[in-house]
């Protein structure tokens, strides 16, 4: 293997790890209610679509999510099975979501659980990879309607 081929492979691995880390940060910041960290996951012009709304910026999305998650005392967002496709300074992924939402009044074992998938597009920016487009499709819910 040539040094150029090795450099390219290492660069691709670094990009994949960075994008997976971005997805992990997105999920962890939701659960921690760390809105500044959450908003930092997105490019300035990010477009996002959820069943409960479409947003033109990460700031708009963060403001809306505060209200969506407010009724829950704890949430746990798990993003897994990310299939990442790299294309230079751009990338795409499809990943599965599993989220648990527990409200204070929920009887033990009767909390909202939902599952679905994220379709994302990313852009490499000077400070790292950012989500440029995100679409969430919820496929199922237990103990409630999908949010």
Across the chain, which has 147 residues, the per-10-residue mean pLDDT values are 89 96 98 95 94 88 90 96 97 97 90 96 97 96 80
pLDDT score recorded for residue 147: 63
Contacts of 39 (CB under 8 A, 6+ apart): 58, 59, 61, 62
Residue 14 structural domain: 3-142
pTM over 0.85: yes
Number of independent structural domains in the chain: 1
Other CB atoms within 10 Å distance of the CB of residue 27 = 22
* 121: in domain: yes
* 17: in domain: yes
* 147: in domain: no
* 130: in domain: yes
Q: What is the CATH number of the domain that holds 110?
A: 3.10.450.50
* 74: in domain: yes
pLDDT score recorded for residue 51: 86
pLDDT score recorded for residue 141: 93
pLDDT score recorded for residue 85: 98
pLDDT score recorded for residue 6: 87
Nearest to 77 by CA among 120, 25, 37, 36: 25
Nearest to 146 by CA among 51, 65, 60: 51
């Amino acid at each position: 293997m040539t040094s150029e081929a090795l450099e390219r492979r290492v660069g691709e691995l670094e990009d994949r790890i960075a994008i997976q880390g971005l997805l992990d940060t997105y999920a962890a910041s939701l659960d921690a209610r760390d809105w500044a960290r959450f908003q930092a996951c997105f490019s300035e012009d990010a477009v996002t679509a959820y069943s409960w709304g479409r947003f033109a910026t990460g700031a708009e999305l963060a403001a809306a999510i505060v209200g969506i998650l407010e009724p829950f005392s704890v949430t746990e967002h798990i993003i897994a099975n990310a299939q990442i496709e790299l294309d230079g300074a751009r990338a795409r992924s499809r990943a599965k979501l599993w989220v648990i939402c527990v409200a204070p009044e929920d009887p033990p074992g009767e909390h909202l659980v939902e599952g679905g998938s994220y379709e994302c597009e990313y852009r490499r920016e000077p400070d790292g990879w950012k989500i440029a487009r995100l679409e969430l499709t919820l496929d199922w819910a237990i103990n409630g309607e999908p949010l």
